[in-house]
Amino acid sequence: MTQDNFSQVTEFILLGLSDTQELQFLFFTLFLLAYAMVLLGNLLIIVTVRADPKLSSPMYFLLCNLSFIDICYTSVTAPRVLVALLSGHKAIAFEGCIAQLFFLHFVGSSEMFLLTVMAFDRYTAICRPLHYTAIMARRACWALVAACWAGGFIHSIVQTVLTLQLPFCGPNTIHSYFCDVLPVVRLACTDTTLTEWLMASNSGLISLGCFLVLVASYVLILAKVRACVSQGHWKALSTCASHVMVVTLLFMPCIFTYLRPAGTLPTNKYICVIYTTFSPMMNPLIYTLRSSEVKESMWRLWKRCRA
């Protein structure tokens, strides 16, 4: 393989979800509504938490950061998908594809780490309430959030470097609606077995590891609630139940997608919709509908805006 082969592919073709015109219009409508809900819902949570001093607990601080991450995460793929569905232009430059891949894993893995931190916050509040204020102090919360972003960056830069060191000399057709490591690696003009296993170990084990930590925290919380039943504990358990819904929507598709080499099973692009669009859309709905404090704060904010 000559060195020239490394630069022959200058763009990729994203086939999208369907070639049928009627289905493309349907997908455009669904993606537009979902993206609008992600933006409006998560922005509303951020504004509400920032505007109400009563929502100053670590849980709402972390929720505010989760909303910001959800906006960034969906914005990596949704605008490009909407433009492609509306214009029919499916080509994406090589540099743009790599950038999308990088930011998708950067923000996505940061969200996984943040959800793990949120589970730790609920575990501390329920199982160690006397030490909660000291453990989850504001400085500690900022440090944990910074660690989530740093962990996401390290994970993503590894994925990106592993992808960039591969030669791409054709074909350039990606059977998905966005650039991800698995469909891009399949197009490399070399044996990618080692790279695929390294990527599976990276993305897959991060997804599985965070999920197992989350499950363990919920098991400990459930054991604590069963041993000490009170209105406050059942309220905390209700909060955890909504958290479980978000975790399931995000982690299970990611584990299925990434915890295997690229060539073992075909990537289901419809499953990708769950963790790239549907999960971020559900976060504001779940957290606002399950939290009376947030709903009351939103109502107070609405009355102040009308006054």
Q: What is the pLDDT of residue 182?
A: 84
* Nearest CA-CA partner of 81 in 9, 30, 20, 21: 30
Most distant CA atoms of the chain, gap in Å: 70
Spatial contact of 243 and 40, defined as CB atoms under 8 Å apart: no
What Å distances lie between residue 122 and 15, 118, 152, 230, CA to CA?
Answer: 42, 6, 22, 16
Q: What is the pLDDT of residue 230?
A: 54
* Parallel/antiparallel/unpaired status of strands 91-93 and 11-14: antiparallel
φ, ψ (nearest 5 deg) of residue 178: -155, 165
* Nearest CA-CA partner of 73 in 44, 47, 34: 34
φ, ψ (nearest 5 deg) of residue 137: -65, 160
* Nearest CA-CA partner of 259 in 206, 212, 214: 206
Q: What is the pLDDT of residue 102?
A: 95
Token look-up 């940061």 returns 110
Q: What is the pLDDT of residue 61?
A: 92
User: How far separated are the first and last CA of the chain, in Å rounded?
Assistant: 70
Can you read off the two tokens belonging to residue 121? 């916050």
- Taking the C-alpha atoms of 53, 55, 61 and 66 in order, what is their torsion angle to the nearest 10 degrees? -130
Cα 225 to the center of its chain, rounded Å: 29
Can you read off the two tokens belonging to residue 98? 């790599």
C-alpha span between 182 and 174 (Å, rounded): 10
Considering only the top CATH level, what class is 11-298? mainly alpha
| 3-state SS class at 92 | strand
Query: DSSP character for 130?
Result: G
Spatial contact of 263 and 178, defined as CB atoms under 8 Å apart: no
Spatial contact of 92 and 186, defined as CB atoms under 8 Å apart: no
User: Which residue type does 140 have?
Assistant: A
Summarize pLDDT for 253-283 with one digit per residue, the tens.
888 888 776 555 555 677 888 888 888 888 7
pLDDT by residue for the chain (307 residues), tens digit each? 444 444 578 889 998 887 777 788 888 999 999 999 999 989 988 988 888 888 888 988 998 999 999 999 999 999 999 988 888 888 999 999 999 999 999 999 999 999 999 889 988 988 888 889 899 999 999 999 999 999 999 999 999 999 998 888 878 888 888 998 888 888 888 888 888 888 877 888 888 899 999 888 888 887 777 666 555 556 656 666 667 777 887 888 888 888 776 555 555 677 888 888 888 888 777 777 667 778 788 888 777 777 6
C-alpha span between 219 and 137 (Å, rounded): 24
Length of the chain: 307
Q: What is the mean pLDDT of the chain?
A: 83
Strand order in the sheet with 91-93: 91-93, 11-14, 173-174
Q: What is the pLDDT of residue 5?
A: 41
What Å distances lie between residue 132 and 59, 89, 151, 249, CA to CA?
Answer: 11, 52, 24, 28
Q: How many CB atoms lie within 10 A of CB 252?
A: 15
C-alpha span between 245 and 290 (Å, rounded): 12
